[in-house]
């Protein structure tokens, strides 16, 4: 029926995704549930099925990569970003260089683009948004969303930056032009350099410990001294100091080498 190792190798050749970087028990459970849903008896049959059906392949990659998000997810954390973190970064330099890593279908980088356009005009000219899933990136670039993922967007922003598009809404061109989508594998590809702010939220939680550390070290290399890493509400950077990071606020870490933190640090209170 094909071993797990056989499937990882076969799928890597087909998609470029290295499933060995992910936690095996979680990934196996996810794959088995997909196989049961599509009637695949074993790994070789699943590989044949996704090779023969592009739409099934897209559904399978979505199932593996958890492409579920929403605009301004965990809004209290976005408040800290707007009220404390971005002003701190802008006190050092502008325009800011920003990377949304593991951006899925674009909700996160577009949220950041909305925030920057509304509160810090001219402070960030372009946001780099990357993901391993090329299909998700295509959907992100199109900028079309169901209203259920836009519930946290203030009404004034919805009226100013979105247009009705069939059953949903579409991000307007002024916001879409601020985001550049690009395929990137966090585990295998080198990180882009000289970033002031990196957002990577609810992505590395699915990685193995060694892959997670590798990714965080890449983020540290990518950040300018004093740059900030914004992680997800289910994540924490253990041994941050060993990686070259200092705790700035809940879910925010600063690359060392930029002098003392602001008085009292950053607080969500």
Q: Which of 18, 30, 82, 92 is catalytic?
A: 30
Structure tokens at 238: 């253990």
Quick check: is 29 catalytic? no
Q: Which of 62, 131, 196, 249 is catalytic?
A: 131
> Could you give the 3-state DSSP secondary structure of residue 196?
strand
| Secondary structure letter of residue 172 according to DSSP | -
Residue pointed to by tokens 């990196």: 198
Residues 168-201, buried b or exposed e (16+ Cβ, 10 A)? Answer: ebbbeeebbebbebeebebbeeebbeebbbbbbb
Quick check: is 131 catalytic? yes
Instruction: Report d(CA 246, CA 228) in Å as an integer.
Output: 9
Report the relative pairing of strands 223-231 and 179-183 from DSSP bridges.
Answer: unpaired
> Could you give the 3-state DSSP secondary structure of residue 237?
coil
Active site residues: 30, 131
């Amino acid at each position: 029926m094909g071993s797990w190792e056989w499937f990882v190798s076969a799928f890597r050749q087909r998609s470029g995704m290295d499933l060995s970087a992910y936690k095996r028990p979680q990934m196996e459970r996810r794959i088995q549930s997909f196989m049961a849903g599509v009637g695949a008896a074993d790994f070789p049959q699943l590989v044949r099925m996704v090779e023969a059906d592009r739409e099934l392949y897209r559904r399978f990659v979505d199932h593996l990569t958890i492409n579920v998000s929403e605009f301004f997810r965990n809004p209290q954390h976005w408040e800290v970003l707007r009220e404390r973190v971005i002003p701190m970064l802008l006190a050092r330099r502008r325009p800011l260089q920003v990377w949304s890593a593991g951006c899925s279908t674009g909700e996160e980088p577009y949220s950041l683009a909305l925030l920057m356009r509304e509160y810090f005009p001219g402070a960030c000219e372009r946001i780099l948004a990357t993901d391993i899933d090329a299909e998700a990136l295509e959907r992100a670039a199109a900028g079309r969303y169901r209203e259920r993922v836009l519930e946290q967007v203030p009404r004034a922003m919805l009226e100013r930056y979105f247009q009705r598009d069939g059953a949903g809404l579409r991000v307007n061109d002024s916001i879409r032009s601020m985001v550049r989508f690009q395929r990137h594998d966090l585990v295998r590809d080198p990180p882009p350099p000289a970033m002031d702010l990196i957002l990577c939220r609810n992505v590395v939680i699915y990685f193995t410990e060694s892959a997670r550390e590798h990714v965080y070290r890449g983020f540290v290399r990518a950040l300018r001294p004093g740059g900030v890493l914004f992680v997800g509400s289910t994540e924490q950077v253990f041994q941050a100091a060993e990686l070259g990071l200092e705790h700035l606020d809940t879910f925010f870490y600063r690359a060392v080498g930029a002098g003392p933190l602001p008085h009292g640090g950053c607080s969500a209170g």
